A = this chain, B = another copy of it.
Amino acid sequence: MNSHHAFVGGRSGAWRVSAQKTIAGEGLPTVTHIDLHRPPPAALPDSARWQLRGFTSNLRYAHRDELEVLRTRQEALGRPSSRCAALIPIRKTPEWWAMPQDERRALFETVSQHTRIGLDYLPAIARQLHHARDLGEPFDFLTWFEFAPEHAPAFDELLARLRATPEWSYVDREIEFRLEATP
């Protein structure tokens, strides 16, 4: 809980970038590798072009029944079979953040079934959410996904379903990094 990480983009790292796509809003300088640092480095490494910082935290929307199913089905990060990963930084609009909790929850789950959609891809697609907005970072969330190469089509489908939800109309900046573990 509450551990701080930095995703460092540059010319070296544990994950090779196989694709970098700007989905919405401003892009980020192109990089060939992404490396994870925990905690964030005191100074940006020489080979780095940027870093994105975030922290894990308590769940903000899940109800008891959803939490129980999540706990039953999800597997940890770092599985040897997970040779593929993705990093998806997103930012939501000021309108989203001005909404009270009940309206954000309704959009997130009742209307958009964010948790429900993710459950359909467990345990194949493991994920970890990192919060960034409260650090004054350029993105609000950095979501990290890990999966085996044969599950890449399922991951594409997961992304397509999430991006088609009403919740996603509040996303005004989004970048998709597809990654492969370096040998």
Alpha-carbon separation in the docked complex, A111 to B64 (Å): 17
CB neighbours (8 Å) of A101 from chain B are: 59-63, 101, 105
Distance (whole angstroms) from the CB of A89 to the closest CB of chain B = 17
Of residues 129 to 144 in A, which have CB atoms within 8 Å of B's CB atoms? 131, 133-134, 136
- When the two chains form their complex, are residues B134 and A64 in contact, meaning their CB atoms are under 8 A apart? no
Q: On chain A, which size bracket covers the interface?
A: 20 to 34
Q: Is the interface of A mostly helix, strand, loop or mixed?
A: mixed
CB neighbours (8 Å) of A102 from chain B are: 63-64
Taking A57-B134, A59-B100, A63-B102 as given, write out 9 further A-B residue pairs in contact, using a Cβ cutoff of 8 Å, ordered by the A residue number: A2-B133, A4-B136, A58-B97, A59-B101, A62-B100, A64-B102, A101-B105, A131-B134, A134-B134
Alpha-carbon separation in the docked complex, A63 to B106 (Å): 11
Distance (whole angstroms) from the CB of A147 to the closest CB of chain B = 25
Distance (whole angstroms) from the CB of A142 to the closest CB of chain B = 14
With most chain B CB atoms within 10 A of its CB, the pick from A59, A133, A134 is A134
- When the two chains form their complex, are residues A2 and B134 in contact, meaning their CB atoms are under 8 A apart? yes
Distance (whole angstroms) from the CB of A92 to the closest CB of chain B = 10
